[in-house]
Structure 1
Amino acid sequence: MQRFRAGGRLAAAKKYDILSAMMAHALAGGAAEQRLVLRLMALITTRYNWQNNDLSVAQREIARLWCVDERTVKRDMARLRACGWVVVKRQGARGRVSVLGLDLDRILADTRPAWANIGPDYVARLTGGGDPAPGPDRTVIPFRRSDITADGSVWGLARVRLAAEDATLFEAWFAPLADGGVEGDCLTLIAPSRFHAAYLRTHLAVRLRQAVMRGHPGITRLRIEPS
Structure 2
Amino acid sequence: MQLPRPVGREAASRKYDILSALMAFALSQDKHVQRQILRIMALITTRYNWQRDELTMGQAEIARMWSVDDRTVKREMARLRAQGWLVLKRQGARGRVSVYGMDLNRMLEDTRPAWPLIGEDFVARLDPAGTAPAGQGTSNVVPLRAAPSPVADGSVWAAAQARLHQEDAAIYGAWFHALTSAGLEANCLTLAAPTRFHATYVATNLKERLLRALRQIDPSLRDVRLLG
Measured against the shorter chain, the TM-score band is 0.5 to 0.7
- CA spacing shift, 1:183–1:23, aligned 2, 3 Å: farther
Q: How many angstroms does 1:80 deviate by?
A: 1.1
Which moved further from structure 2: 13-22 or 209-218?
209-218
- CA spacing shift, 1:22–1:182, aligned 2, 3 Å: farther
What is the SS of the residue equivalent to 2:182? strand
* Maintained 8 Å contact 1:91/1:97: yes
1:160 to 178, 181, 190: 178
Alignment TM-score, normalising by the size of structure 2:
0.64
Q: How many angstroms does 1:119 deviate by?
A: 0.8
Query: Which residue does 1:180 correspond to in 2?
Result: 183
Q: Deviations over 1:97-152 (max 9, x none)?
A: 1100111111001101011111111111110259xxxx9xxxxxxxxxxx995845
Cα distance in 2 for partners of 1:114, 1:221 equals 22
Cα distance in 2 for partners of 1:47, 1:40 equals 10
- CA spacing shift, 1:11–1:148, aligned 2, 3 Å: farther
Cα distance in 2 for partners of 1:80, 1:99 equals 14
Runs of 4+ in structure 1 over 3 Å off: 147-153, 182-189, 207-214, 217-222
Cα distance in 2 for partners of 1:178, 1:29 equals 24
Q: Deviations over 1:139-169 (max 9, x none)?
A: xxxxxxxx9958457xxx68826xxxxxxxx
What is the SS of the residue equivalent to 1:37? helix
Q: How many angstroms does 1:70 deviate by?
A: 1.3
Q: How many angstroms does 1:44 deviate by?
A: 0.5
Query: Which residue does 1:169 correspond to in 2?
Result: none
Corresponding position: 1:101 with 2:101 = yes
RMSD over aligned CA atoms reads 3.4
Q: How many angstroms does 1:208 deviate by?
A: 6.2
Corresponding position: 1:38 with 2:38 = yes
Q: How many angstroms does 1:209 deviate by?
A: 5.7
* Maintained 8 Å contact 1:47/1:57: yes
- CA spacing shift, 1:212–1:66, aligned 2, 3 Å: closer
Following superposition of structure 1 onto structure 2, how do residues 27-176 of structure 1 map, counting pairs within 5 Å? 27-128=27-128, 151=158, 152=160, 160=178
* Maintained 8 Å contact 1:18/1:108: yes
* Maintained 8 Å contact 2:80/2:86: yes
Query: Which residue does 1:216 correspond to in 2?
Result: 203
Q: How many residues align?
A: 173
Alignment TM-score, normalising by the size of structure 1:
0.64
Runs of 5+ consecutive residues of structure 1 not aligned to the other structure: 136-146, 162-176, 190-206, 223-227
Identity across matched positions, percent: 52
Q: How many angstroms does 1:187 deviate by?
A: 3.6
- CA spacing shift, 1:178–1:188, aligned 2, 3 Å: closer
* Maintained 8 Å contact 1:4/1:104: no
